[in-house]
Amino acid sequence: MLSYSKDQRKFVLLMLLPAFGMTAAFFLWPTIYNIKNSFTDLSLLGLREGGKWVGLDNYIALFNDSDFKKVVFNTLFWLTFVSVSIRLVLGFAIALFIESQLVRRLRLTVPLRMAALLPWATPDIVAVTVWKQIFDGRTGVINNKLLEWGFIDQPIVFLGDPSYVWPAVITIIVWNGLPIIVLTMAAALQTVPRDLYEAADIDGAKSWTKFWHVTFPHALPALAVLGLLTTIWTFNNFIYVWMSTSAGPGTFSNVLATEVYLQAFVNFKLGLSSAIGTFMAALAMVFGVIYFRYVVTKRFGGLM
């Protein structure tokens, strides 16, 4: 065991101080400031005089607001649950295909892995901008093709029509967020020992049985970690919704991250916006706790 002398310990603390100072200045202080603001009626126009203490009024207002309930639903269901589920299932399926015997026999495994990387190399903002053009009601390639092939008579404003806006936004998120799932799952699949499949062959297992009893248990820990991480990353994402729909049409696709922005910089209600931010942080912490429970404490039995 290593043991440190008093001097060494002092030195270690001294070296940790700058990092701690930065963290405190840029994360801890804003957090405290934000929580404090959430109990005031601070306005963007009245920053100098500051806000008046209003207690829990902001929070009570939020929970009594049916529009806010819709924002929470949009965030948890559409933005997070649906998009994460699709990414996990589709990503795993693509990874299974890339690592399959067929693709290996055709010697396409490596080229396909490379191809899967491509969307990842595209910055979110660029991806959303390009997708907006693809989805465009007048000039978009999808509408042009659908009209050309006679599937529709009138162009569809994908990002402006309540029936299409979520599927369209989720398409963008899935496209951009798929690579990390595909590549991580492909890596996880490569760690499955080949002789387990052979043992299963001898035991008389068919493909489906082999998948459930050999492949899936090996892939599960990676899938669980990816699920939790993408959930946290997506839940507080501002770019996808704001860049593609600006929370519209109207506030139809409004989510928590865009609501924070709207309340603060459109409605100038910094106090209310801070309360939403604090609420988001509390929700994110729930995921965080689960994440630490299962991943950091290695619930997955050293298979990681």
Partner 1 sequence: METTIVTSQYPALELKNVEKRFENVIALQGLSFSVEPGAFVAIVGPSGCGKSTLLRLIAGLEATSDGEIWLDNEDVTEASAGERGLAMVFQSYALYPHKTVRENMAFSLKIAKRPKAEIESRVAEAARALQLEAYLDRLPKQLSGGQRQRVAIGRAIVRKPKVFLFDEPLSNLDAALRAETRVELAELHQRLAATMIYVTHDQVEAMTLADQIIILNAGQIQQMGSPKELYNEPKNAFVAGFIGSPKMNFVSGTINEGVFQSTDLSIPGLGQTASGAITLGVRPEALMLADSDKGIGQIEVSIVEYLGDESVIHGRLADGTPIILREKGGVELNTGDRVFIDIENVDALHFFSPDSGERIVRSPKTPNKG
The site for partner 1 (CB under 8 A) is made up of: 193, 195-196, 198-206, 209, 213-214, 217-218, 301-303
154 DSSP 8-state letter: S
Q: Two tokens at 157?
A: 């404003």
Nearer Cβ to partner 1, position 65 or 203?
203
Nearer Cβ to partner 1, position 167 or 193?
193
Nearer Cβ to partner 1, position 150 or 302?
302
Nearer Cβ to partner 1, position 138 or 206?
206
Number of residues assigned to the chain:
304
Cis peptide before 193 (omega within 30 of 0): no
Nearer Cβ to partner 1, position 125 or 220?
220
Shortest Cβ distance from residue 256 to partner 1 (Å)? 37
Shortest Cβ distance from residue 111 to partner 1 (Å)? 22
- Please give the Cα distance from 129 to 60 (Å, whole number): 37
Bridge partners, 40 (sequence order) = 53
Nearer Cβ to partner 1, position 6 or 194?
194
- Please give the Cα distance from 203 to 200 (Å, whole number): 5
Nearer Cβ to partner 1, position 144 or 209?
209
- Please give the Cα distance from 279 to 135 (Å, whole number): 33
Query: What percent helix, strand, coil does the chain show, rounded to 5?
Result: 75, 0, 25
Shortest Cβ distance from residue 209 to partner 1 (Å)? 6
- Please give the Cα distance from 255 to 216 (Å, whole number): 34
Shortest Cβ distance from residue 148 to partner 1 (Å)? 48
Q: Two tokens at 74?
A: 């949009």
Going along 77-224, which residue ranges are E strands?
A: none
- Please give the Cα distance from 159 to 132 (Å, whole number): 8
Shortest Cβ distance from residue 37 to partner 1 (Å)? 49
Shortest Cβ distance from residue 212 to partner 1 (Å)? 11
Residue 178: its H or E element: helix 165-190
User: 3-class DSSP state for residue 40?
Assistant: strand
Residue 80 half-sphere exposure toward CB, CA atoms < 13 A: 25
Shortest Cβ distance from residue 107 to partner 1 (Å)? 14
